[in-house]
Chains A and B, each alone.
Chain A
Amino acid sequence: MNLIGITKQGLRFYWKTHLATGLAVLVAAAVLAGALAVGDSIKATLTRRAQMRLGRVGTAVQCPGLFRAKLAAELEEKLTPQQGQVASTNALQVVVAPVLRTTGFTENADGTVRVGNIQILGIDERYWKLGPQSSTRQAEEIKEGAAVSRALAQRLGLKAGQEIVVRMRAVGGTPAETVLTPEEQTRVSFRRTVARVVEDEAFGGFDLYSRPDSGLNVFVPLEELSAMTDAEGGVTWANMLLIGGAVNTNDIRQTLPTVWQLEDAGLELRLVDWPRVLELRSQGVFIPDAITQGIQKNVGGALGLVTYFVNELRCGLRTVPYSFVCAVDDMPQEKSPVTVTQEEMIINEWLADALKASEGDKIEIRYFVPSQAKKLVEQAGTFTVKTVIPMMGSGADSSLMPGYKALADAENCRDWKAGIPIDLSKIRPEDEEYWEKYKGAPKAFISMKAARLLWSSRFGTLTAIRFSVDEYDMRSLRAKILSAIDPWQAGFVVFDMRHTAHEAAKATTDFGSLVTGLSLFLIAASLILAGLVWSFGLRRRAMQVGMLSATGFTKGRIGWVFLLEEGPVVLVASLLGTAAGLVYTKLILAGLNSIWAGAAGGMKMLFAVRPQTMALAAGISIVMAAIVWLLRIREFTKRPAAQLLDRTQEILLPKGMVGFSLAGAVFLVFAAAGLSVYGTMVSAQAAGGMFFGAGAMILIAMSLFLSAGLAYLGVQAKRISSSRWGLAIKSAARRRGRSLAVSMTLAMGIFVVLATGIFQRTAPKDPAEKTSGTGGFTLWAQSSVPLVNDLNDTRFQQQVGIVFAEKGDFNAVSLRVQSAEDASCLNLGRAQQPSLWGVRPESLAGRFRFKKVLDRKPPANSWEWLNLDLGEDIVPAIGDWATVYWGLHKDVGDEVDYTDQNGRVFRLKIVAMLDDSILQGGLVISEKQFLKRFENTSGWTVFLMDVPVSSAGAAGKTLTQSLGVYGFEVQTTAERLTMFHQVENTYIGIFMVLGSLGLVIGTVGLGLVVLLNAMERTGEMAMMRAIGYKRKTLGLMLFAEHAGLLTAGLVFGIISAAVAAGPQLEQMANLPWKMVTSLTAVMWVNGLVWVGIAASATMRGDLLEPLRKE
């Protein structure tokens, strides 16, 4: 005979009580373990996604222009360790894959399905070696036709063997936005048979950026895609290097410049036959300023020049159309160099004749601003003729004409394919003749200073740099230039993908904590239930505690006796519960994969749980249960044994406690009121949180009131009328804690369900309301190929055939986009560098609603924040609250590091946050700053449009059709907002479901309490029957007592929720009223049924019989 033996017998004898507590602990443990396991699973899902997305790519090198694909092999050779140095295991082998990447959209053969924002990747066999599971099989199979990723095939509903049409943004060549680039040249399309669908495991889902719809890829052999660019033929071009193996970004930074060539910067060094000079040109026509500076600083004898196309040269009434004007510091090829001042001009004889101009005359030139895209802003400048030079030498030097292919190749002026409207009627026979004879030889020369003011753009200033053949030969010059510039000046950027992948695998919101948070109420409810059962069990055995005490057991030892018995129950229940938690996880994941897909952005969830997590969950469950149990047992062991031994002893609350509870309750009510008043004084949004807090306080206050009330009723025996109901109230007061626990669990449940339900989001009633989340825009559009034209330009509208039903009401705000990661709630992974949107702040004046702005004197138009001067490397940015706060984990005033196109790091400072807007996922900066950081970006890809709500549908249709070649996708702003809301609403939905589950536990607890109370009172009930009470009466009294607790709980919950709703009261309409009222009703009826069953069972006595027998 020992303690263990006694314990065993106790376990066996009180198995029902143990089973009940065990179940309650099990539920708590299961919910906790499940919640944590969901966190694990989401992390695993994100990690796998990042693995699939990036394969074995450790580093990526990107370049806005094109470079030789050969660079990959050259780099690989340099990076591969010499033989013998490193064991040549496959994992360490360095692979550098050249990729030509562009974006666009695709359609199935009959044009019925279109998928936008896809990547078109020109690849060769090296690409497949970098896949998560490397294989080169794919390479052979896409020698013919194209391959598509599984994700894209799914979206297109496509099988291998079918055809697709791909339309994409052209890469390389002149930037689409420069004036003389023909618009058609900015787009390329092709039709291919899909040879294969590439699975994610084989690297079909490659994507540099973490975004919800990543990995929509079309694969084409690199050589073929390269041939589709307008870059020089005979060379295979690429614009990205993917690098895998044992190298880090530093190795690459150091090695790349050693193999890098001028061609890789889009530069070309050629020997001009006449005049004999060495000339450096750029494929993009303009030489980037960074390169120019590098050369001018380090290579002696560099002569920069710029030749620009002007629409008109005018002197008085005479004009000459469409000519080239050259700017140069020192006139080339002149024996005695002539220099001009900023206001002066040198003209050739032909022009002098045509305009009848001579020295001292004024000549006006009209030209299009170089980088205002197809907005075609014409400007003018006036110069004074300094000299006239003959039609020889510089006067007729066609080599000065820049490399605009569309112009240079033309036999005839009429064949020009410039990107601007050419008025053919203006071209006279003389002009044709000039073209035939001198091609694009500049007719006039101005100073470099003037040219810089007139024609300089973000794409560069110079069109050529010349060197004397006396000073250099081809080889030495090439070497000299190469040493003067580096890849970074040419826009090469090295990305550390391992780090990025690691970051992206972090969930935006720590889902584990979130689900745990959402489940907290359930856990609390189950623990309260466990506590109730324990209390009950211990109370039944209170006299045993007293007896043990009398025979000399110390408090500690009594605790041990009970712990030995309860410990295994808690342990087993926690462990089983943790295991059961996996089922709970599966349920939640199944929910996230189906009805709650909105919360996960449609991402398919994997089930993956780490053993540590399970151990942690089990540990926490055990500790929590142990704490609850200890609190319960302490209540008994701390009492004098004499009290425990007396069956009739009631433990009454000292009077002071009543006052204390009352004081607490009153304080809380005042605090809640204060909080609400303060809440309405600050922003509406802050008020939301404060009212929620106030509601919670009211809830606690009411529980204190109830506690005090019950205590008062319990003490003031005399005041209780002799009515039966008075007796019922008094009964409820007897086990105050128990009554409170049940009542408050129910109140909390209803509170949680109602108060969160209120926060359900709905679309604004009027999308045209400027201060709503739509910004007053009714349509949102996105194009897969950037638009370089102004959508508001009626000429352009006519050209592409946009016809609006209601004229004059259309207004579009175009946004430039630096596409990167999606930081909206649709992306589960955490974004580091979100997409950036460039916009002119004034175009958004008075639009959208601001949630929070920088703590400074605000400008009249909050969008003007974007023009704030914060210093050289800090760019003010505005983002949607959800994106900034949840997506980026930042706040107003915080900064986000960003790498621009040239690898320069700058910081985005959040200056304001929008409230619930359609601008989720990226950050908005001013167009000016945007172009400063991303000078190579051409065109606009996101459009916010004002269209009357009534004709929005028709307008959307005409836009989609007319701009089909750009992959224009139109969405109403209401739809877009709803899409974002869905995520939040899904969370709320989950919360409501879990809250309801908690309520169910609460009602079960209530039923249990009825049984406990009835059991405790068997003696007195027998007595009451003996003195003449009817069974039915006693049953009714028991029922009334507990129905009262149930009703009180529900009413308290509803009142608190109403307080929490506070300013959102108008939003009450949002509440799924039907669901809420039916839920409340169901809970009430459900509770009553439980109470009823328990009460009648008690009265029949059959249910209690086995329990009572000891």
Chain B
Amino acid sequence: MSAFLRLEDIRKSYAGPGGQTEVLSGISLDAGQGQTIAIVGPSGCGKSTLLNIVGLLDRPTAGKVILDERELTALSDTEAAKVRNRKIGFVFQMHHLLPQCSVLENVLLPTLAGGKKLPAREFQSRAQELLERVGLKDRMQHRPGQLSAGQRQRAAIVRALILQPVLLLADEPTGALDKDNAEQIAELIVELNRQEKMTLIVATHSMELAGKMEWRYQLTQGVLRQSEI
């Protein structure tokens, strides 16, 4: 049986001033269900690029992303959108919460993405439950502008988890936070992974966060190497 998530020889290059520069030069990776993986490396090494490709936010120059025996890289835009919506959760360095909506509404946003209506009540209670779990129970009706940086990021994490994704991608989730907040968020992510059982890939240059993952990979010169620490 093949792995739950499989990356096959992913390549990505960009047009630069001096011709094409390859950012990812053949990345392959297998991950099982519920596994936690950290991708570390210095800024500019291509972590975000890789995560965006895995999360179907960008297309690789070559190579395949296979999730649950489905080749994601071959999907049409609409199908890709559906996969993003139902299978994948994203946490960014920036929270990207809609400033005009309340925390609860922001969290429920993914339920509106599909054409078909999802059972609102069910997700409503899940949202409330998740928000309670991340300690935002009494902040649900607040606007993002009224929250602290850490609270915003927690809301963003809940938004990523609302539709019970099988894959959670987190790109520098603690990058914009102070040390205490960063630690709390790291704990939270690990904890949530334990409860929700989704595969988790975290891109970070924080060794602390990386240390909490079962697997660690180093991204250098466009290739992935298993990391010791």
Contact = CB atoms under 8 A, between A and B. Distances in A.
5 contacts: A9-B105, A550-B57, A551-B113, A551-B160, A640-B59
Interface in A530-587: 543-544, 546-557
Contacts of A38: none
Given A551-B160, A552-B88, A552-B113, 4 more contacts: A10-B98, A554-B113, A645-B57, A1110-B99
B42 interface: no
Contacts of A667: none
A845 interface: no
A547 B77 contact: no
A557 B109 CA distance: 13
Contacts of B104: 1
A154 to B, nearest CB: 63
Contacts of B78: 554, 556
Q: Give the interface centre of B104, B109, B145 by most chain A CB atoms within 10 Å.
A: B109
Q: Which of B99, B105, B114, B144 counts the most A-chain CB atoms under 10 A from its CB?
A: B99
A-B CB proximity, top 8 nearest: A552-B85, A13-B100, A547-B96, A1110-B99, A554-B81, A642-B52, A552-B84, A642-B58
Interface in A339-373: none
A190 interface: no
B26 interface: no
B3 to A, nearest CB: 23
A548 B109 contact: yes
Nearest to B86: A552
A145 to B, nearest CB: 80
Given A547-B96, A548-B113, A9 B58 contact: no
A13 B99 contact: yes
A1109 interface: yes
A641 interface: yes
Contacts of B49: 642
Interface string B74-107: 0001100111111010101010101111001100
Contacts of A646: 48
Contacts of B77: 554-555
A550 B90 contact: yes
Contacts of A640: 52, 57-59
Chain B interface bracket (under 10, 10 to 19, 20 to 34, 35 or more): 35 or more
A660 interface: no
B115 interface: yes
Interface of B: 15, 48-49, 52, 55, 57-59, 77-78, 81-86, 88, 90, 92, 94, 96, 98-101, 104-105, 108-115, 120, 124, 144-145, 159-160
Nearest to A547: B96
A1110 B58 contact: no
Nearest to B114: A552
Given A1-B105, A13-B99, A1109-B145, A552 B110 contact: yes
A1 B108 contact: yes
B81 A549 contact: yes
* A5, A547, A548, A552 — most chain B CB neighbours (10 Å): A552
Nearest to B105: A1
A2 B165 CA distance: 21
A3 B101 contact: no
Contact of A551 (B15, B110, B144): B110
A1107 to B, nearest CB: 12
A642 B82 CA distance: 17
A811 B41 CA distance: 102
Contact of B100 (A14, A546, A641): A14
A641 B59 CA distance: 10
A613 to B, nearest CB: 38
A550 B15 CA distance: 24
A555 B80 CA distance: 11
A720 to B, nearest CB: 14
Contacts of B99: 13, 1110
A547 B84 CA distance: 11
Contacts of A1109: 145
A554 B49 CA distance: 21
B interface, over-half SS: helix
B94 A543 contact: yes
A557 B98 contact: no
Contacts of A550: 55, 57, 84, 90, 92
Contact of B112 (A2, A543, A654): A2
A555 B104 CA distance: 24
Contacts of A551: 84-85, 90, 109-110, 113, 159-160
B102 to A, nearest CB: 8
B145 A1110 contact: yes
Nearest to A12: B100
B58 A641 contact: yes
Contacts of B59: 640
Contact of A549 (B57, B112, B114, B144): B57
A14 B98 CA distance: 11
A715 to B, nearest CB: 8
Contact of A552 (B48, B81, B124, B145): B81
Contacts of A552: 81-86, 88, 110, 113-114
Contacts of A654: 15
B47 to A, nearest CB: 12
Contacts of B94: 543, 645, 647
A3 B101 CA distance: 11
B92 A645 contact: yes
Contacts of A642: 48-49, 52, 57-58
Q: Which of B78, B111, B112 has the most CB of A within 10 A?
A: B112
Nearest to A549: B57
B82 to A, nearest CB: 6
B112 A3 contact: yes
A6 B57 contact: no
B96 A544 contact: yes
B191 to A, nearest CB: 22
A1 B120 contact: yes
Residue from the set B57, B100, B101, B110 with the largest chain A CB neighbour count within 10 Å: B100
Contacts of B112: 1-3, 6, 553
B157 to A, nearest CB: 13
A112 to B, nearest CB: 76
A789 to B, nearest CB: 89
Interface string A3-29: 101100110111000000000000000
